[in-house]
Each structure stands twice: as structure tokens, then as C-alpha cells.
């Protein structure tokens, strides 16, 4: 057990307008299981890289521990090899028998170490890299988004595995995973880093109560300031009125006044002006004091959505529907049947490879939204209502290139409205000046979501929309969907999001059917 002590940490990227961290200090124990949460682009991955010594910074990070990072960055050559051939390259001193023991805890046989890595499923790749990561001794592990692109079954296995370990920082936006795996929360607030014991839900409840108290105190403070301003305004008016009577007077109306009265009025006015200045200083001090309480307050802005009205109640009909790619022998979809009616939010759920994305692409092709040259054979019925307008969010963000201006022009979006939505999703204004390929994965995903929210549609189809999206934005999107109740078809492995949003779940089973 050791300590990691961070003192007066200050860091900003070269050419950046603001520092990411400013005089941050805290301590953590290497025996803890820490969940690391915060808004996209606020510096979670940057902080992990600072621990790894990748960047120069001001301040100190004191520790005797050795860090290791997930996911390992593999070269194209390594991707073609068996994991057994490169695991010592990515983790020096790694022993095969230890990796095999870790794989057993993850429910996998040793044989996946001897298959070409590129042929492994996303879940198998994650398990191999986690087994290599945890095969060392006394390392403090930095784990960055281990469950992205994993289906629910693989997530459950990873969740149980991590819950049995200790000595790591886990960056994740999956609330179910965080609650199951961690005993401390490391939070990137707007201006500070906070460490608190407990899981994510415990921290969130404490934060909610604290924020409510701060807001109530702020409202009370505003009323007090208004009263002080009124007092200051009255005193200022009296002082001005008195000052105006200092010089000149009407002998007929003010027969008892002499020239000596001028000095008396001047002294009285001076006292009143001094009182006004003291009141203004007091107001300034109180504003400054209370503003400090609001610095870390998360106040997500409510998002808006404009759905189109369609004259038909049933928008999509799928009956005994099967699809096979012509270069494959088996059907990727087999006898799928369900309907999408207005107001329904349907979650497609199942293991990776069961055909969820294929089904989405077939619906999009029939609506003219998506087109590829891959040849398929279809049987059964997949029909969409005539004139159906679909707004689509895809999994892949690799196509985002260029500036926000170019993206808006290409997709026929109103730039001012588009940027306003991104601001509501906590985009900094400085991000609008960057090229999108330089965004974090979470920021790229927000670009796609903002474009979808800005596109009026009869049906919203979102394929894993929350990968890399921070917890606060997930809650914003949940609130939006529950308030506006658009018709949706979506794939999302975040258990809590799916349980809150879906009005119906279609359980898809690999190659031989589905369940509703």
C-alpha cells in the first residue's frame, strides 16, 4: 500500500487558451478502487497520461508505485499476431501462466492467446488485454473505458472481474459498472478535483443534496444583495440631493439659511457618500464569497427535440425477416419480427454479432438514409411507412473531419443552433475553433448527437449513442427523451439508460431468432 500525492498540479496544452488543471492538490491510496468521472474533454485521459509521465507539468506528483495503462496501443503488426507472441512486448516481465489464470477469472480458455488477435471479438480482445494488465504485481492500474463496444454479457463478466480486484483508477461513464466496482470516487469538477469514499450513486446523491443547498443559499444571498443595493441606491440619492443644495439658495424660501450652512451640508454629504461606498464594498465581498460556492455546481441545461408528425401509427413493420450477406453462408438475421409504432422507444438488445447493426442498416437503406455496395439476400418483410424521415446516429466517429463550419454546411445544419446544442452539452467555445479530428471520442459523439437532435424526424435511430459520453450528458439525454418521448429504435449497452428509456426491448439472439 502506498500513497499518490498530487500537489499544486498545473497543466495546459501548448497553444491552449486555458489550463486543464490549475493548482490541484489531493492524495489517493494505491489500495483503493477509484472511479474517475467528469465531463468530456475535462482532462481524465490527460491526467492518466500525466501519471504515466508523458507530459511536462508544474507542481509535483509523488509516488513510489509503477503505473500501467489500459488499453494497450497495438501496432498493425501486433494485431496480426497471437497475443502470446506480443504480450511481453506490451507488458515487460509478463508471464503466460499468470495471464492464463487471469483469463480463467474472465471465463475464457487459454486458447484465445493463440489465435490471431485481429480475429477476436471486441469482448475477447478486452479480456485478453485485461488479463495481461492484471498479470503483474504491485502495479497501480489506469483503466480507460474498458466496456465500450462490449455487449451486456461481456460487460457483466468485466464488471465482476474488476469488482474482485483493487489498486486501480477506472475511467468509465457506465453508472452500473462504477457502482459495482469502486470504493472511492475521483471527480473532475468544473474547477477542482474531489476525492470521496463510496460508489458513484452514493457520491451523486451527496452531490445532488449539496448542489440543492448551494442553490438555496445562493437565492437567499441574492435577496440579501438586492436589499443592500436598495439601501445603497437610497443613500446615493440622498447624498446627491444634499450635494445639489450646497451651492445657491432662495432667500425668500430659505430665510433662516446663511452662507456658513454650505460647510455643514458638505460634511453631511461626505458621510453619506462614505456610507454608500462601504455598502458597495460589502456587496462586492458577499458576491465574491458566494460565487466561490457556485464554481463547481453542475447545472445541466435542458435539451430540446422537435419530432415530426406522421399520419400512420405503425412506422416500421418487420415480420419473419432474415438477412444473409452474399459472401457468407449463414444468415446474420433469422426470422426477426416486431413493429415500431408512434411513441415507442424500442431497444435492440443482444450479444455482439447478433445482427443489431445489420437490422438498423437495412431499415436505413429502405429509407434512403444509408447506402453501401454490400450485397445481401433478404426474406420476409421489412417495410417502412412512406415519407418516413429518420435521424440517425452511428457508432463510428472516424468520418468526422474538418471544422464545425464544414460539418454544418455538409449536413445542412444551422450553425448557430448546432453550436448552441453543443454548448448545452458542455462544449467549451474554444472547441469550435479546433478541427474535429482533434476532439476526444466523447466530443465527437456529442457532435453526432447534436446533429441528430437538430434534425426534425419521425423516427430516431441511434446505434450505441452513449459510447464515451460522460455521465452528466447521459442524464441530460435521458431527461430529454423522457420529456419529449420521440419514436426511437436504439442499441445501447448502458443498462441504466436502457431500463429508463426503453418502452419495449427486442432481445436478439445470434443466428437463430429473437425475443420480445
pLDDT digits (tens, 9 = 90+) for 316-358: 999 999 998 887 778 888 889 999 999 999 999 988 778 888 8
Q: Are residues 333 and 482 in the same domain?
A: yes
On whether residue 131 sits in a domain, the answer given is yes
CA distance 290 to 333: 59
Q: 438 exposed, middle or buried (CB, 10 Å; 0-12, 13-18, 19+)?
A: exposed
Confidence label for 247 from pLDDT (cuts 50, 70 and 90): low
Q: CA quadruple 90, 94, 96, 100: dihedral positive or negative?
A: negative
Query: Helical H runs in 114-244?
Result: 122-133, 152-163, 175-181, 200-244
Residue 209 phi/psi, 5° resolution? -65, -40
Instruction: Check if the beta carbon of residue 33 is closer than 8 Å to that of residue 180.
Output: no
Confidence label for 513 from pLDDT (cuts 50, 70 and 90): very low
Q: Are residues 168 and 26 in the same domain?
A: yes
Strand partners, 29: 3
CA distance 160 to 32: 16
The predicted pLDDT at position 282 comes to 72
Q: CA quadruple 63, 68, 73, 78: dihedral positive or negative?
A: positive
Q: Are residues 501 and 431 in the same domain?
A: yes
Cell readout for 267 is: 460634511
Q: Are residues 342 and 461 in the same domain?
A: yes
- Name which residue leads in pLDDT, 224 or 359: 359
Confidence label for 515 from pLDDT (cuts 50, 70 and 90): very low
Q: Are residues 276 and 362 in the same domain?
A: no
Q: Are residues 181 and 215 in the same domain?
A: no
**Which 3 state secondary structure label does DSSP give 250?**
coil
Q: CA quadruple 351, 357, 359, 360: dihedral positive or negative?
A: positive
In this prediction, residues 303-315 reach a mean pLDDT of: 90
Nearest by Cα to 446 from 479, 470, 413, 430: 470
CA distance 318 to 340: 9
The predicted pLDDT at position 514 comes to 44
- Name which residue leads in pLDDT, 277 or 137: 137
Q: Look up cell 472547441; give the residue.
A: 431
Q: CA quadruple 408, 413, 419, 424: dihedral positive or negative?
A: negative
Confidence label for 254 from pLDDT (cuts 50, 70 and 90): low
- Name which residue leads in pLDDT, 237 or 180: 180
On whether residue 59 sits in a domain, the answer given is yes
The predicted pLDDT at position 215 comes to 75
Domain endpoint, select from 170, 199, 228: 199
Q: Are residues 354 and 491 in the same domain?
A: yes
Q: 214 to each of 61, 192, 200, 207, 218, how far by Cα in Å?
A: 32, 16, 21, 10, 6
Cell readout for 136 is: 503483474
On whether residue 306 sits in a domain, the answer given is no
In this prediction, residues 113-134 reach a mean pLDDT of: 92
* Strand 66-70, strand 139-144: pairing: parallel
The predicted pLDDT at position 441 comes to 87
Domain endpoint, select from 199, 220, 235: 199
| Intra-chain end-to-end CA distance of the chain, in Å | 49
Model confidence at 306: pLDDT above 60: yes
CA distance 21 to 61: 13
The predicted pLDDT at position 188 comes to 85
Number of domain units in the chain: 3
Model confidence at 304: pLDDT above 90: no
Determine which of 96-100, 129-133, 254-258 has the lowest per-residue pLDDT on average.
254-258
Confidence label for 38 from pLDDT (cuts 50, 70 and 90): confident
Model confidence at 208: pLDDT above 60: yes
Model confidence at 1: pLDDT above 90: no
Q: Are residues 346 and 457 in the same domain?
A: yes
Model confidence at 501: pLDDT above 50: yes
The predicted pLDDT at position 138 comes to 82
Confidence label for 49 from pLDDT (cuts 50, 70 and 90): very high
In this prediction, residues 367-396 reach a mean pLDDT of: 88
Q: Are residues 189 and 225 in the same domain?
A: no
- Name which residue leads in pLDDT, 457 or 191: 457
Q: Are residues 130 and 47 in the same domain?
A: yes
Query: Helical H runs in 33-140?
Result: 44-51, 76-80, 83-90, 96-105, 122-133
Model confidence at 228: pLDDT above 70: no
Q: Are residues 271 and 356 in the same domain?
A: no
On whether residue 164 sits in a domain, the answer given is yes
CA distance 219 to 344: 40
Domain endpoint, select from 169, 199, 229: 199
Q: Which CATH number fits the domain that encloses residue 463? A: 3.40.50.300
The predicted pLDDT at position 414 comes to 92
CA distance 486 to 231: 51
DSSP 304-324: ---BPP-S-SEEEEEEEEEEE
On whether residue 396 sits in a domain, the answer given is yes
On whether residue 308 sits in a domain, the answer given is no
Q: Give the H/E segment covering residue 33.
A: strand 33-38
What integer best gives the mean pLDDT of the chain?
A: 85
In this prediction, residues 74-90 reach a mean pLDDT of: 94
Model confidence at 500: pLDDT above 90: yes
Sheet strands side by side (includes 58-62): 21-29, 3-11, 58-62
* Strand 345-349, strand 504-509: pairing: parallel
The predicted pLDDT at position 467 comes to 87
Confidence label for 371 from pLDDT (cuts 50, 70 and 90): confident
CA distance 196 to 167: 16
446-475 per-position pLDDT tens digit: 999 999 999 999 999 999 999 889 888 898
Strand partners, 321: 336
Instruction: Check if the beta carbon of residue 38 is closer than 8 Å to that of residue 188.
Output: yes
Q: Are residues 257 and 287 in the same domain?
A: yes
On whether residue 302 sits in a domain, the answer given is no
Instruction: Check if the beta carbon of residue 433 is closer than 8 Å to that of residue 427.
Output: no
Cell readout for 67 is: 503505473
Determine which of 105-109, 288-292, 496-500 has the lowest per-residue pLDDT on average.
288-292
Model confidence at 298: pLDDT above 60: no
Strand partners, 54: none
On whether residue 303 sits in a domain, the answer given is no
In this prediction, residues 208-228 reach a mean pLDDT of: 76
The predicted pLDDT at position 220 comes to 77
CA distance 57 to 52: 12
Cell readout for 439 is: 476532439
Name 271's Cβ contacts closer than 8 Å, sequence gap at least 6.
none
Confidence label for 189 from pLDDT (cuts 50, 70 and 90): confident
- Domain extent, residue 427, equals 314-515
Confidence label for 264 from pLDDT (cuts 50, 70 and 90): low
The predicted pLDDT at position 103 comes to 94
Tallying the residues shown for the chain, one arrives at 516
Cell readout for 469 is: 459520453
CA distance 20 to 217: 29
Q: 514 exposed, middle or buried (CB, 10 Å; 0-12, 13-18, 19+)?
A: buried
Amino acid at each position: 500500500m502506498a500513497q499518490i500525492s498530487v500537489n499544486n498540479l498545473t497543466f495546459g496544452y501548448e497553444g491552449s487558451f486555458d489550463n486543464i488543471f490549475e493548482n490541484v492538490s489531493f492524495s489517493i491510496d494505491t489500495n483503493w478502487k477509484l472511479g474517475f468521472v467528469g465531463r468530456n474533454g475535462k482532462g481524465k485521459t490527460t491526467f492518466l497520461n500525466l501519471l504515466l509521465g508523458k507530459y511536462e507539468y508544474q507542481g509535483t506528483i509523488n509516488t513510489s508505485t509503477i503505473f500501467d495503462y489500459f488499453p494497450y496501443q497495438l501496432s498493425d503488426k501486433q494485431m496480426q499476431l497471437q497475443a502470446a507472441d506480443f504480450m511481453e512486448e506490451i507488458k515487460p516481465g509478463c508471464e503466460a501462466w499468470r495471464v492464463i489464470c487471469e483469463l480463467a477469472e474472465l471465463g475464457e480458455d487459454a486458447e484465445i492467446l493463440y489465435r490471431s488477435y485481429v480475429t477476436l471479438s471486441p469482448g475477447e480482445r478486452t479480456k485478453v488485454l485485461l488479463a495481461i494488465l492484471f498479470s503483474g504485481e504491485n502495479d497501480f492500474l489506469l483503466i480507460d473505458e474498458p466496456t465500450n463496444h462490449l455487449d451486456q454479457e461481456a460487460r457483466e463478466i468485466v464488471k465482476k472481474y474488476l469488482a474482485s480486484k483493487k489498486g486501480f483508477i477506472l475511467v468509465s461513464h457506465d453508472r452500473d459498472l462504477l457502482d459495482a466496482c469502486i470504493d472511492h470516487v475521483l471527480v473532475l469538477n468544473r474547477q477542482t478535483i474531489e476525492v470521496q469514499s463510496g460508489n458513484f450513486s452514493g457520491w451523486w446523491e451527496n452531490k445532488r443534496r449539496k448542489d440543492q443547498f448551494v442553490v438555496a443559499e445562493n437565492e437567499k444571498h441574492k435577496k440579501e444583495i438586492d436589499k443592500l443595493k436598495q439601501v445603497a441606491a437610497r443613500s446615493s440619492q440622498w447624498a446627491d440631493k444634499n450635494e445639489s443644495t450646497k451651492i445657491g439658495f432662495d432667500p425668500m424660501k430659505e430665510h433662516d439659511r446663511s452662507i456658513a450652512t454650505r460647510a455643514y451640508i458638505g460634511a453631511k454629504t461626505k458621510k453619506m457618500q462614505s456610507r454608500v461606498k462601504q455598502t458597495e464594498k460589502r456587496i462586492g465581498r458577499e458576491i465574491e464569497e458566494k460565487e466561490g460556492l457556485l464554481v463547481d455546481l453542475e447545472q445541466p441545461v435542458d435539451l430540446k427535440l422537435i419530432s415530426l408528425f406522421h399520419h400512420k401509427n405503425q412506422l416500421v413493420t418487420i415480420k419473419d425477416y432474415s438477412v444473409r450477406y452474399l459472401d457468407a453462408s449463414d444468415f446474420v438475421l433469422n426470422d426477426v419480427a416486431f413493429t415500431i409504432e408512434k411513441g415507442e422507444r424500442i431497444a435492440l438488445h443482444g450479444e455482439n454479432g447478433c445482427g443489431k447493426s445489420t437490422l438498423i442498416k437495412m431499415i436505413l437503406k429502405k429509407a434512403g438514409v444509408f447506402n453501401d455496395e454490400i450485397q445481401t439476400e433478404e426474406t420476409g418483410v421489412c417495410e417502412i411507412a412512406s415519407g418516413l424521415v429518420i435521424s440517425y446516429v452511428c457508432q463510428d466517429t472516424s468520418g468526422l473531419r474538418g471544422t464545425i463550419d464544414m460539418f454544418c454546411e455538409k449536413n445542412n445544419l444551422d450553425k448557430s443552433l448546432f453550436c448552441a446544442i453543443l454548448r448545452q452539452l458542455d462544449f467549451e467555445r474554444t472547441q469550435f475553433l479546433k478541427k474535429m479530428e482533434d476532439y476526444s471520442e466523447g466530443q465527437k459523439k456529442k457532435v453526432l448527437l447534436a446533429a441528430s437532435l437538430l434534425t426534425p424526424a419521425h423516427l430516431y435511430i441511434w446505434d450505441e449513442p452513449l459510447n464515451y459520453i460522460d455521465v452528466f450528458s447521459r442524464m441530460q439525454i435521458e431527461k430529454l427523451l423522457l420529456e419529449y418521448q420521440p419514436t426511437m429504435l436504439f442499441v445501447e449497452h448502458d443498462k441504466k439508460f436502457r431500463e429508463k428509456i426503453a418502452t419495449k426491448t427486442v432481445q436478439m439472439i445470434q443466428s437463430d431468432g429473437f425475443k420480445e
